[in-house]
Amino acid sequence: MNDQPTPAVKVEIPRPKRGEGQWGLGYLEPLNKNEQSKRDDNPLNAIGRIKSTWAQAEFDRIDPADKRGRFRWAGLYTQRAPGFDGGKTATLEEEELDDSFFMMRVRTDGQILTGAALRTLGSLSNEYARGTADITDRNNIQYHWIEIGSVPDMWERLDAVGLTTIEACGDSPRPFLGSPVAGIAKDELIDGSSALAEIKRRSLGNPEYSNFPRKFKTALTGHPSHDVAPEVNDVAFVATVHPELGVGFDCWVGGGLSTNPHLAQKLGVWIPLEEVPDVWEAVAGIFRDYGYRRLRSRARLKFLVADWGMEKFREVMEVKYLKREMVRCESPAVPEHQGDHIGVHEQKDGKFFIGAAPVVGRINGDVLLGLADLVEQYGAQGARLTAYQKLVVIGVDGADTEAFAAGLEKIGLTAAPSNWRRRTMACTGIEYCKLAIVETKDRAKDLIEELEKRFPELDSPISVNLNGCPNACARTQVADIGLKGQLVLDENGEQVSGYQVHLGGGLALGANFGRKLRAHKVTSAGLDDYITKVVTNYLAGRAAGESFQT
Ligand code: SF4
């Protein structure tokens, strides 16, 4: 692409009368307290202060601007104190919800976790996080109950196995989603691992990319099943085939859920593997320079993409950032379903990978240590995390797959899950998240157990995503049955925990948002029966081949 001509057109970006805090248009004054805090001090500096000062300090003595703000760039959030329900939360200030602990995210960015890495993750969980460890839908391991004094030792030990928490939260390059089967799947179009590693090398801890208007989510896959939920990322690279140039990547921009969901739009280009990081920097640069910074609720890339449209967005990328034109190419065909890689599958090198499901991503330190034992005992390469709160073990010998799968069952993971265990996700919820209105993880576990009894066999996949608030961290709007936590009225007119229901959403072919009907609200206590009714109606009324979504 370096041979591509420099675009001749001079792109115009008019300066509106009322600025939205877009740096590229000269609106440099901070317009809200988050922007002010980032201006006061680069949030990356808080990482050094944790090591030098805060790790030795009492929780209450830590500067609140660091503790509740800049620590996010270190992968740390203050944790919700136990005992508050959604109703009480509404009347409390953020600091009143604090206990003296942190939630910590370890990003894996599509890397393979070796036996040593899994052992470190498990040991840290048991030593410092009361055994907690959740697999998130963004390739993270998330700990709870972390004391600030533990953090330097945790960082040192994570670093020794190639892991980091840096910029796992904050207005930063958030953890990258990579294909769990990169480099190993027989049907892979291209292995994008090197591009993802290079994006990480260029961006993490780099002040150029440490102050976005808000979070910036990246996904990349060379697998035809689009196994990284590319539609709901700010920027995604998806393998595409050019009739003459061969396999490269299309770039999709502007996806995101939360309270104002958008599916990513396709640039319709062909990018060779080695130039993917340049294109990432172009999209990230546009977001940094032209993203809206006035209102946090409008500060995601999706709003800029919607306002500019694809043609202008691509033109600005080419003229102002890449200084060259990108090759136009039809966007790749969209698969019927996105791959979750559950089960036992042969790799292209003759070994096998095994996709296994915990329950809604919840594992613990002992599970990680048990997995490390299995990986080492059978000489497997390691494990990757998926975009669906699951994991994939890589490089198992054909003769060992049965024994390995039996070993997984013993530690609470299964390579042959029911539909409900396989396709249910839940966010952190009220147990630890300060924004939550309702409980999610335990509720989802009970729901799965009940649905497994009521619908032990299901011939058509149905996904259920439980979320504790409107932020949609577990993708409310793109599940067959999406649940958004809120307070609802029970039959006595009392406010109780419950969910707004979104029906018929999905990713891949026919990607769309679930329908949200006003009457579709359910109490947490009534959830099992509600879903039973919905599924029974679908099974009774469907035409041949009709999926839940249609
Ligand atoms: Fe917290 Fe809401 Fe995200 Fe759940 S969806 S983790 S409750 S912010």
Integer CA distances (angstroms), 426 to 44, 469, 483, 485, 525, in order: 30, 11, 9, 11, 17
**Nearest CA owner, ligand 1 atom 2:** 469
Q: What is the atom index within ligand 1 of the atom nearest the CA of 436?
A: 7
Centre of ligand 1 to C-alpha 72, Å, is: 15
Centre of ligand 1 to C-alpha 426, Å, is: 9
Angle at 179 between CA 177 and CA 183, to 5 degrees: 140
What pLDDT is stored for residue 510 in this prediction?
87
pLDDT (tens place) for every residue of the chain, 550 residues total = 445 665 655 677 878 778 899 999 999 999 999 999 999 999 999 999 999 999 999 999 999 999 999 999 999 999 998 766 655 555 566 666 777 999 999 999 999 999 999 999 999 999 999 999 999 999 999 999 999 999 999 999 999 999 999 999 999 999 999 999 999 999 999 999 999 999 999 999 999 999 999 999 999 999 999 999 999 999 999 999 999 999 999 999 999 998 899 999 999 999 999 999 999 999 999 999 999 999 999 999 999 999 999 999 999 999 999 999 999 999 999 999 999 999 999 999 999 999 999 999 999 999 999 999 999 999 999 999 999 999 999 999 999 999 999 999 999 999 999 999 999 999 999 999 999 999 999 999 999 999 999 999 999 999 999 999 999 999 999 999 999 999 999 999 999 999 999 999 999 998 999 998 777 899 999 999 999 999 999 999 998 888 887 7
Q: What is the DSSP code string of 176-213?
A: PEE-TTTTTBTT-S---HHHHHHHHHHHTT-GGGS--S
What sign has the CA pseudo-torsion 17, 19, 25, 29? Answer: positive
Centre of ligand 1 to C-alpha 539, Å, is: 31
Q: What is the ipTM of this complex?
A: 0.99
Centre of ligand 1 to C-alpha 428, Å, is: 6
Centre of ligand 1 to C-alpha 75, Å, is: 16
Q: What is the atom index within ligand 1 of the atom nearest the CA of 485?
A: 7
Centre of ligand 1 to C-alpha 442, Å, is: 14
Per DSSP, what are the bridge partners of residue 239?
Answer: 249
Centre of ligand 1 to C-alpha 205, Å, is: 26
Centre of ligand 1 to C-alpha 28, Å, is: 31
Q: By C-alpha distance, which of 184, 270, 291, 261 is closest to 227?
A: 184
Centre of ligand 1 to C-alpha 469, Å, is: 5
- Category of 393 on φ-ψ map: left (φ > 0), alpha (ψ -120 to 50) or beta: beta
Q: Which of 174, 473, 477, 524 to mutate to test the pocket of ligand 1 (most atoms within 8 A of CB)?
A: 473
Q: What is the atom index within ligand 1 of the atom nearest the CA of 472?
A: 5
d(CA 208, CA 212) in angstroms, rounded, equals 9
Centre of ligand 1 to C-alpha 429, Å, is: 6
Centre of ligand 1 to C-alpha 286, Å, is: 28
d(CA 399, CA 76) in angstroms, rounded, equals 42
Q: What is the atom index within ligand 1 of the atom nearest the CA of 471?
A: 5
d(CA 144, CA 150) in angstroms, rounded, equals 12
Name every residue whose Cβ is closer than 8 Å to that of residue 28 and which is 6 or more positions away in sequence.
none
Q: What is the atom index within ligand 1 of the atom nearest the CA of 430?
A: 7
Centre of ligand 1 to C-alpha 473, Å, is: 6
Q: What is the atom index within ligand 1 of the atom nearest the CA of 429?
A: 7
Q: By C-alpha distance, which of 416, 409, 353 is closest to 179?
A: 353
d(CA 315, CA 12) in angstroms, rounded, equals 10
What sign has the CA pseudo-torsion 162, 166, 172, 174? Answer: positive
Centre of ligand 1 to C-alpha 450, Å, is: 24
Q: By C-alpha distance, which of 480, 500, 425, 470 is closest to 261?
A: 470
Q: What is the atom index within ligand 1 of the atom nearest the CA of 468?
A: 7
| Residue 10, Cβ density class (10 Å: 0-12 exposed, 13-18 middle, ≥19 buried) | exposed
Ligand 1 residue neighbourhood (C-beta within 6 Å): 427-429, 433, 435-436, 467-469, 471-473
**Nearest CA owner, ligand 1 atom 3:** 473
d(CA 147, CA 154) in angstroms, rounded, equals 11
Residues 59-65: contacts with CB within 8 Å, 24+ apart? 59/98, 59/100, 59/147, 59/148, 60/100, 62/148, 64/95, 65/37, 65/40, 65/41
Q: By C-alpha distance, which of 107, 120, 102 is closest to 167?
A: 107
Q: Which of 469, 475, 524 to mutate to test the pocket of ligand 1 (most atoms within 8 A of CB)?
A: 469
Integer CA distances (angstroms), 60 to 26, 129, 146, 198, 497, in order: 38, 20, 15, 39, 31
d(CA 328, CA 260) in angstroms, rounded, equals 30
What pLDDT is stored for residue 457 in this prediction?
92
CB-CB contact of 129 with 357 (8 Å): no
Q: Mind spelling out the 3-state secondary structure of 277-303?
A: HHHHHHHHHHHHHHCCCCCHHHCCHHH
Containing H/E element for 356?
Answer: strand 352-356
Q: By C-alpha distance, which of 209, 176, 171, 204 is closest to 34?
A: 171
| Residue 8, Cβ density class (10 Å: 0-12 exposed, 13-18 middle, ≥19 buried) | exposed
Centre of ligand 1 to C-alpha 300, Å, is: 17
d(CA 122, CA 369) in angstroms, rounded, equals 5
Where do the DSSP E strands lie in 21-163? 76-80, 98-107, 132-135, 140-146
Q: Which of 135, 136, 296, 467 to mutate to test the pocket of ligand 1 (most atoms within 8 A of CB)?
A: 467
Containing H/E element for 308?
Answer: helix 301-308
Name every residue whose Cβ is closer than 8 Å to that of residue 523 and which is 6 or more positions away in sequence.
488, 490, 496, 497, 498
Q: Which of 103, 140, 257, 433 to mutate to test the pocket of ligand 1 (most atoms within 8 A of CB)?
A: 433
Q: What is the DSSP code string of 40-69?
A: HS-TTHHHHHHHHTGGGS-GGGS-HHHHTT
Integer CA distances (angstroms), 502 to 446, 487, 511, in order: 20, 16, 14
Centre of ligand 1 to C-alpha 436, Å, is: 5
Centre of ligand 1 to C-alpha 142, Å, is: 13
Q: Which of 80, 435, 476, 500 to mutate to test the pocket of ligand 1 (most atoms within 8 A of CB)?
A: 435
d(CA 421, CA 418) in angstroms, rounded, equals 5
Say what the pTM is: 0.95
Angle at 506 between CA 548 and CA 497, to 5 degrees: 85
Integer CA distances (angstroms), 390 to 43, 181, 256, 421, 483, in order: 31, 13, 21, 10, 20
Q: What is the atom index within ligand 1 of the atom nearest the CA of 433?
A: 1
Per DSSP, what are the bridge partners of residue 359?
Answer: 362
CA 549: distance to chain centroid? 22
Q: Which of 427, 438, 439, 502 to mutate to test the pocket of ligand 1 (most atoms within 8 A of CB)?
A: 427
